Amino acid sequence: MRGFYIGRYQPFHDGHRHMVEEIAAEVDELVLGIGSAGDSHTTRNPFTAGERVMMVTKAVEELDATTYVVPIEDLDRNSVWVSHVQSMTPRFDVAYSNNPLVVRLFEEAGVEVRQSPMFRRDVLEGTELRERMIRGRDWEDLVPDAVVDVIREVDGVERIRRIAETDSLADEPLDQ
């Protein structure tokens, strides 16, 4: 059986890792969707899709399940979002999510959805991790070592600090 789990992974943290380990115990293969793949260089989405592919791939490589990491760009039409996801990924039998909208969209499309409890959600949340990076607080112990390595390789902490210093338009797309 093949499962599907999507997240923005900005960055991939120990909560994601815990969820992936639980899913991997239930399936033979796992498709990990990198959501909002077209977004980067903002305080909400500081890392590129390629950087997140590296984070996730390296963080899950020792799992006892075949994994496929697939970037998925946003589609601002919820009614066709599931078919968009399905067109971008290998076929999957079950989707995993705790996001109420994602659960609803998959259920409406006839896809089985499974949920699991969040793991240490009080600190294992992307917003908290990004805020810690900006403020120079400890974040490394909340992500897999492989993710720390990728963030250091791309100078991700400096990037998010610089972005956070800019004006309120930092989360707006650049006009080209």
Per-residue pLDDT 10s for the chain (176 aa) are 999 999 999 999 999 999 999 999 999 999 999 999 999 999 999 999 999 999 999 999 988 889 999 999 999 899 999 999 999 999 999 999 988 999 999 999 999 999 876 656 565 788 999 999 999 999 999 999 999 999 999 999 999 999 998 744 444 554 44
Those residues whose C-beta lies under 8 Å from the C-beta of residue 3, and which sit 6 or more positions away, are 23, 26, 27, 29, 30, 31, 92, 93, 94, 95, 96, 114
Encoded tokens for 122 = 């009080």
pLDDT at 64: 80
Crossing angle of helices 49-60/145-153, nearest 10°? Answer: 150
> Among residues 74, 48, 56, which one has the least CA distance to residue 17?
56
pLDDT at 123: 55
pLDDT at 159: 97
pLDDT at 136: 95
Whether residue 20 contacts residue 32, with contact meaning beta carbons closer than 8 Å, is answered with yes
Encoded tokens for 115 = 């949920």
> Among residues 17, 27, 12, 2, which one has the least CA distance to residue 118?
17
Those residues whose C-beta lies under 8 Å from the C-beta of residue 152, and which sit 6 or more positions away, are none
| Pairing outcome for strands 94-96 and 2-7 | parallel
pLDDT at 120: 62
pLDDT at 121: 55
